Amino acid sequence: MKHILGKTFRRLAILVFGAASLTQFDVALAQRLRLGQPTPGPTPQVLVFEEATRANLLRPVTTDEAPISPKVSPGPMSLDQCLELGFKHQPALDAARASLNGAQLGQRGLQRLLLPRLLKPDLRFRREQSAYGVMIAEAAVTQAEWETRYAITRNFFTVQYIRAQGRVVSDVLKTLENGLKKAQTIVDSGDANVKITALDVQAIRVQLGLVKGKKSQVDNGMLKALAALREAMGLGYDYPLEIADVPLPPAVAVVWEPGKDNKGKPTKVAKYVQVQNPDKKALIAAAISQRGEIMQATAANRVFELEVQAQMKIFGWKGDTFASGSDPHMQQIPPSLMNGDYRPGAFPPEIPATLAGRRADRVARARALVDRSVAVVDKATNLVSLDVEAQYLKWQQAMEEVRDLSEVEKTAEELPGKVQQLQNKDLTSAAIIQANITSIMVRTQLNDAMHTHALALAGLERATAGAFRVYPAPAAK
């Protein structure tokens, strides 16, 4: 009987409020008609929305439709063009922006609530918590943007690195083929005074086959790098992506200083000096003040502090927390990894939806959650500092390796050609093979170091949230 009466009362209330709303609308409409004013109708924005909705509902659904895949390539793209396109189409950014929109809508919903304090004594704190929830969502968007920028930049640099490796392999293939032809010519001449034999020709041919195998690895690596770059940009698998051929960020620069040659005569001597010179302490301080994860953890800590005050206002044996109506989550930086590599990870705050017990017990539990959130901030700060330092040390090691290899790069590149100039009687297969092996080893290792250096610069840009920038590279001092 109580259920039936309650149901009847709810229906009666709906009818009363609905009738009141309709009556107000009818009165306003009658006044407009008396004054000769136009009757209200759908706004242009509403018409556009309805038309777009109708078109979207009538559009056939296709599951194999690839996003933005033109039939003709737009041409070679620079890093800035890749970043611009990626920021438009990366789903991770869309997800972060959607979460931000949801947080803003939740905040607006709380601001519009008109409830007496007796019915919702903690409403003031919930509104303030929702504002911090928006801050957390904004920090998540910023973090997603830097992660997207890093992913695109990293894969863009990898494409350039593979191209450089391909040029080295092509050069060595050319010199080995020339050496093979010369060795075959010497063997065919039948000169008894030469050291080249048919066995030496076979050894050079085997080495040539090994280098050709490296070329196939380079070609396949380029396809993988382009696929990874498409994903980082949010493009479809069939997007005809072309990347401009540009050099990697410089690690060292040549400075000519007075010196002496082998005979003691005055001359100019090349000295390789580092281009970038970042300050590690300044980078760590900037990262702590700018990283989205720190902002999230700090805002979440304030949310928990407000929860203590909110629980003080709630009477009864149970009190809902801010988590019952929102999700001011924060992202971990990064997850733990304890296998071959050691990488510590963050831990999240605890966010129960309800606190049970007497008010004093609920308040004590909320204070314990505050203590955990403080630990989350401390852990996040330590991990951000470690992230920056790891990228800095990676940059430093790569820069030193680039500097050392740059000093012998030209000699290694010219070595196979100098061997080709030897007299027939002095030429050996060992000399040809060793010269080409040395050349490819030095040049590929230099490319490896340049690639690592470029990734470290991009890593520093991400780790400091833009306090350090890859470009423009400063002039050598």
pLDDT digits (tens, 9 = 90+) for 201-228: 898 889 888 888 888 899 999 999 999 9
Write out the two tokens for 330.
Answer: 């924060």
For the ranges 66-80, 106-120, 129-143, 318-332, the lowest mean pLDDT is seen at 318-332
DSSP element (H, E) containing 256: strand 252-260
pLDDT band, very low/low/confident/very high, at 338 (cuts 50, 70, 90): low
Least Cα distance to 431 among 202, 196, 213, 210 occurs for 196
Mapping DSSP to helix (H, G, I), strand (E, B) and coil, where does residue 371 land?
A: helix
Give me the mean pLDDT over the 228-246 stretch: 94
Residues 6 or more apart whose Cβ sits within 8 Å of residue 199: 429
pLDDT digits (tens, 9 = 90+) for 15-35: 433 443 433 434 343 444 344
Cβ(274)–Cβ(296) under 8 Å?
no
DSSP element (H, E) containing 295: helix 292-313
Residue 102 phi, psi (nearest 5): -65, -40
Q: Please state, in angstroms and rounded to a whole number, the distance separating the CA atoms of residues 178 and 116.
A: 91
Give me the mean pLDDT over the 263-284 stretch: 85
Give me the mean pLDDT over the 34-60 stretch: 40
The predicted structure's pLDDT at residue 426? 83
pLDDT digits (tens, 9 = 90+) for 52-71: 334 443 344 444 444 567 88
Decide if pLDDT at 443 tops 80: yes
Q: Please state, in angstroms and rounded to a whole number, the distance separating the CA atoms of residues 466 and 162.
A: 26
Write out the two tokens for 465.
Answer: 């949230």
Cβ(306)–Cβ(125) under 8 Å?
yes
Decide if pLDDT at 312 tops 80: yes
Question: First vs last Cα of the chain: how many Å apart?
Answer: 90
CA geometry: angle 223, 229, 232, nearest 5 deg: 145
Provide the angle, in degrees to the nearest 10, between the axes of the packed helices 198-233 and 123-189: 160
Question: CB neighbours (10 Å) of residue 19?
Answer: 10
Q: Please state, in angstroms and rounded to a whole number, the distance separating the CA atoms of residues 400 and 156.
A: 23
Q: Please state, in angstroms and rounded to a whole number, the distance separating the CA atoms of residues 459 and 392.
A: 9
- Report, at the CATH architecture level, how domain 74-477 is classified: Up-down Bundle (1.20)
Residues 6 or more apart whose Cβ sits within 8 Å of residue 359: 311, 312, 314, 315, 319
Q: Please state, in angstroms and rounded to a whole number, the distance separating the CA atoms of residues 151 and 455.
A: 10
Cβ-based burial of 355 (10 A; exposed 0-12, middle 13-18, buried ≥19)? buried
Q: Cα 431 to the chain's mean position, in Å?
A: 46
Q: When comparing pLDDT for 469 and 3, which is higher?
A: 469
Cβ(329)–Cβ(136) under 8 Å?
yes
Cβ(255)–Cβ(241) under 8 Å?
no
Decide if pLDDT at 420 tops 70: yes
Q: Would residue 205 be called left, alpha or beta, if left means φ above 0 and alpha means ψ between -120 and 50 degrees? A: alpha
The predicted structure's pLDDT at residue 7? 47
Would you give the DSSP letter of residue 140?
A: H
The predicted structure's pLDDT at residue 336? 62
Q: Please state, in angstroms and rounded to a whole number, the distance separating the CA atoms of residues 314 and 320.
A: 9
Q: What's the Cα-to-Cα distance from 87 to each of 109, 151, 229, 472, rounded to whole Å?
A: 30, 11, 13, 21
Decide if pLDDT at 391 tops 70: yes
Cβ(166)–Cβ(97) under 8 Å?
no
Give me the mean pLDDT over the 422-437 stretch: 85
Where in 404-472 does DSSP place strands (E)?
A: none
Strand partners, 243: 77
Q: So where are the chain's domains?
A: 74-477
Cβ(447)–Cβ(431) under 8 Å?
no
